[in-house]
Structure 1
Amino acid sequence: MGGFEWRHGVPDPSRAVVIISAATSVRCTYYARFADYLFNHGLDVMLYDYRGIGVSRSGSLRGFKASWSDWGVLDAHAILMRAQRECPGQPIDMVGHSFGGCTVGLAAGASRVRRLVTVGAQFAYWRDYAAAQRWPMFARWHVVMPLLTRLCGYFPGKRLGWLEDTPAGVVNDWAAMNTRFERLPSARTLHSLPFASVTANTLAISLSDDPFGTVAATERLLRYFSASERTHLRINPADIGETAIGHFAFFHSRYQQSLWPIALGWLLDGALAHDTAGTFINRPL
């Protein structure tokens, strides 16, 4: 498994190390500017690519064995153990984008995470997609994607300009159309899911124009983190003077002054500023 690090030098128990878990089939370098921002505000940061993606890919994906469960149980756990080993005594926090928000709940080391920020996090249950885009999204992700995967032995996402090339096992999980994570093809073989061992103070950010990260989808995943204090903040682009943000743009550097401080404040203090943009869907009393 490969990745990149932003480190301040010797471990310091007052400085957290933040692990960023990417969306499905997105290279970890997509989050490099956000990692720079966190580093420049005093945090250590680790990015990593899931097996079969980016710097963690070697050779053809035809016949390559990897699933969503592997990305969490094996890869997210490995990076958590590396953070613990290389940054002894430092708190470990995580940021998860889209499926990346699920990874902490699959890793056996999940109980070590102190604070968690998720953005558009869900596991692609199709009925949770935004109503206006639901059927086109269903056709793309639950019909075309698995059909092409069956033909090619993997999903050739780069050729289509959709995603990175994606292992067949990941596609099978995404396209499975189950309401429960534990019913996804790869999850059925797991003895247990560590979600309930996560005690991280959790901030789930959803964007009102994100067709994946609807309120229903975000809350569906949040319910798995039953031992965590969970805050769900929903942001409308108009709240920050924008017309669109969508599923991916939160991590674009143009939001360094408007959206990124929300995540930074949570990672530094475990709290939100009183004037934070957005509306609370769910918040601890």
Structure 2
Amino acid sequence: MSQFEAFNICCKDGYILSARFYSHSSNSPKSLPILICPATGITKQFYNSFATWLSEQGYNVLVFDFRGIGDSLHGPLSKSEASIVQWGQLDIPAAINALLNKTHAAKVLLLGHSAGGQLLGLAPNHEKVAKVVAVSGSSGHVKGLKGRTKLLAPLMFKAIFPIARMTIGYGPTNAIGMGENLPKDVARQWAEFCGKPGYVTNAIGKTVHEDFHHDIKTPITVVWSSDDEIATEVNVKDLLRLYPNTQTTMLELKPSEFNHKAIGHMLMFKKSHQNIWPLIEKQLNL
């Protein structure tokens, strides 16, 4: 049974994020805590089993909801002013500081899922991260997608999101099986960032005026699956090229090697796929 402490994180702009802290339950605690940063539209509850398992391995773990998502949505979704840029500039830095304050550790290990592992280049306190393990992390560039997602993404980005922005005031991703519905600016920026190579760097000079990609020395490892329609090899490489001054590693998993029919973009965190968890945890070692 999982046990966690629910608490709030206050961001630099005063926005309150909902978080969970899992204290380690091991006789051999690890020195560095883990910050789990969620994928777009995915809530902290999704990572509960994985976070609990990590705590049993000796890690202190924090997972949170990005602003505008889950318990970090305050008020009607259509009124939310949350954006992906704010996730990187404000939410992740606040979560890093909160975890350091709670554990008194020197640095954190950042385990990001999809978007959660793609935004360190926006964080002004990136030097407080000892290592990044980006699960299913990539630029998500539409031309690098494959399968059903390659067909769905242009429709979602060019038709569904713009129409929904003008009518209901948010991105209706839940209806198409892609997580929680999204604040309108999250949906708009997701389409903008994935429309060209380079992901969030497409916003530099527009909504991003502090860019730390070239300053980052933190090692980054991307773990992705061969059947992932979003984090394809070409899109993983497109993300990692944004960090030219650090060590980057790519680790591709094949479902058959773990006796799974599929892993895709989401299944690595499911209890059904927990035989993959030790491999992910191993990547956190410095």
- TM-score, normalised to structure 2, is 0.86
Cα distance, 1:239 vs. partner?
A: 1.8
Equivalent residues in 2 for 1:124-163 (5 A)?
124-130=140-146, 133-159=149-175, 161-163=177-179
Q: Is 1:262 equivalent to 2:279 in the alignment? A: yes
Cα distance, 1:221 vs. partner?
A: 0.8
1:212 maps to amino acid: I
Cα distance, 1:34 vs. partner?
A: 0.6
Cα distance, 1:103 vs. partner?
A: 2.5
> In the alignment, what sits opposite 2:245?
227
Alpha-carbon contact 1:173-1:184 (below 8 Å) kept: no
The number of aligned residues is 266
Question: Could you say if the C-alpha distance between residues 114 and 145 of structure 1 is closer, same or farther in structure 2, counting changes exceeding 3 Å?
Answer: same
Equivalent residues in 2 for 1:37-186 (5 A)?
37-130=53-146, 133-159=149-175, 161-176=177-192, 177-182=195-200, 184-185=202-203
Q: Which segments of structure 1 move beyond 6 Å, counting only runs of 4 or more?
A: none
> In the alignment, what sits opposite 2:212?
194
1:203 maps to amino acid: T
1:122 maps to amino acid: S
> In the alignment, what sits opposite 1:277?
none
SS at 2:210 equivalent: coil
Find the aligned partners of 2:107 and 2:203 in 1 and give their Cα distance: 33
Question: Could you say if the C-alpha distance between residues 240 and 212 of structure 1 is closer, same or farther in structure 2, counting changes exceeding 3 Å?
Answer: same
- TM-score, normalised to structure 1, is 0.86
SS at 1:123 equivalent: coil
Find the aligned partners of 1:186 and 1:65 in 2 and give their Cα distance: 19
Question: Could you say if the C-alpha distance between residues 159 and 185 of structure 1 is closer, same or farther in structure 2, counting changes exceeding 3 Å?
Answer: same
2:212 maps to amino acid: P
Range with greater deviation from structure 2 (106-115 or 193-202): 193-202
Cα distance, 1:63 vs. partner?
A: 3.2
Cα distance, 1:186 vs. partner?
A: 7.9
Question: Could you say if the C-alpha distance between residues 254 and 26 of structure 1 is closer, same or farther in structure 2, counting changes exceeding 3 Å?
Answer: same
Q: Which runs of 5+ in 1 are unaligned?
A: 271-285
Find the aligned partners of 2:83 and 2:95 in 1 and give their Cα distance: 17
> In the alignment, what sits opposite 2:51?
35
SS at 2:130 equivalent: strand
SS at 1:78 equivalent: helix
SS at 2:49 equivalent: helix
What CA deviation, in whole Å up to 9, does each residue of 1:117-168 have, x standing for no partner?
1111123321111166412332234422332233211123345543212111
Alpha-carbon contact 1:172-1:185 (below 8 Å) kept: no
RMSD: 2.2
1:162 maps to amino acid: M
1:75 maps to amino acid: D
Q: Which runs of 5+ in 2 are unaligned?
A: 1-16
Range with greater deviation from structure 2 (108-117 or 172-181): 172-181
Q: Is 1:17 equivalent to 2:33 in the alignment? A: yes
What CA deviation, in whole Å up to 9, does each residue of 1:63-111 have, x standing for no partner?
3211111011000010011122222234310111111111222211111
